[in-house]
């Protein structure tokens, strides 16, 4: 129970994603037949760029690897378990990693719930241009990966600046020591 705060933060991050994902998927399943599309009236001009379409996906995000649903179900359990186990060990100051894992946990859980309820099928419904059809969970996972990469890049830049500053300090000390040695001779 010593990590209760960490888990509360994780639930605060992942919970709304899971809820929004499940709610939007239920709306689509209850209101559109598989393959049916929807746009608000008067928005027909946007159809080529965006529309809602009821679709099922048995593979990974964005429809990849359609025959691998059992592997992705097991992988989702593994990812969820690792995030729950690892999350408390992340320093509170590492906000980007905490946010990224919260987003990924929400997305993985949302799609896992679909796989468990619908024989491996995940409901997808967002169509943007020619991009594969996706859902809130897929988006959350993708944004989580982007936040993770961005956070690593920022951390790396900060560490390099610190190293440069420390390196300059060490070389400044070396110059002072050399000057002192020359003076003593």
Please tell me the distance from the alpha carbon of residue 126 to that of residue 99, in angstroms, as a whole number: 23
Q: Which residue has the tokens 């967002």?
A: 126
CA distances from 107 to 1, 143, 160, 169 (A): 25, 10, 33, 45
Please tell me the distance from the alpha carbon of residue 70 to that of residue 66, in angstroms, as a whole number: 10
**C-beta neighbour count of 97 within 10 angstroms:** 18
Q: Report domain extents, the chain.
A: 4-151
pLDDT in tens, the chain (185 residues): 678 899 999 999 999 999 999 999 999 999 999 999 998 888 888 988 999 999 998 876 555 666 767 888 999 999 999 999 999 999 988 999 999 999 999 999 999 999 999 988 999 999 999 888 999 999 999 999 999 999 999 988 888 888 777 765 555 556 656 666 666 66
Catalytic residues: 124, 138
What angle (nearest 5°) sits at the alpha carbon of residue 99, between those of residues 7 and 120? 80
* pLDDT tens-place string over residues 136-179: 999 999 999 999 999 999 988 888 888 777 765 555 556 656 66
């Amino acid at each position: 129970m010593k990590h209760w705060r960490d888990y509360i933060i994780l639930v605060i991050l992942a919970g709304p994603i899971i809820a929004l994902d499940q709610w939007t998927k239920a709306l689509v399943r209850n209101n559109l037949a598989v393959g049916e599309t929807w746009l608000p009236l008067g928005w027909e001009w946007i159809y080529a760029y965006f529309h809602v379409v009821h679709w099922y996906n048995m593979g990974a995000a964005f429809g990849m690897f359609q025959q691998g649903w059992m592997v992705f179900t097991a992988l989702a359990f593994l990812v969820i378990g690792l995030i729950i186990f690892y999350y408390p060990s992340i320093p509170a100051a590492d906000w980007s990693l905490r946010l990224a894992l919260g987003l990924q946990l929400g997305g993985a859980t949302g799609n896992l719930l679909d796989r468990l309820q619908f024989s491996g099928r995940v409901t997808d419904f967002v169509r943007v241009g020619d991009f594969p059809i996706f859902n809130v969970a897929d988006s959350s996972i993708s944004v989580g990966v982007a936040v993770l990469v961005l956070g690593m890049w920022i951390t790396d830049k900060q560490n390099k600046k610190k190293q440069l500053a420390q390196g300059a300090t060490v070389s400044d000390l070396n110059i002072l020591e050399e000057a002192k040695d020359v003076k003593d001779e």
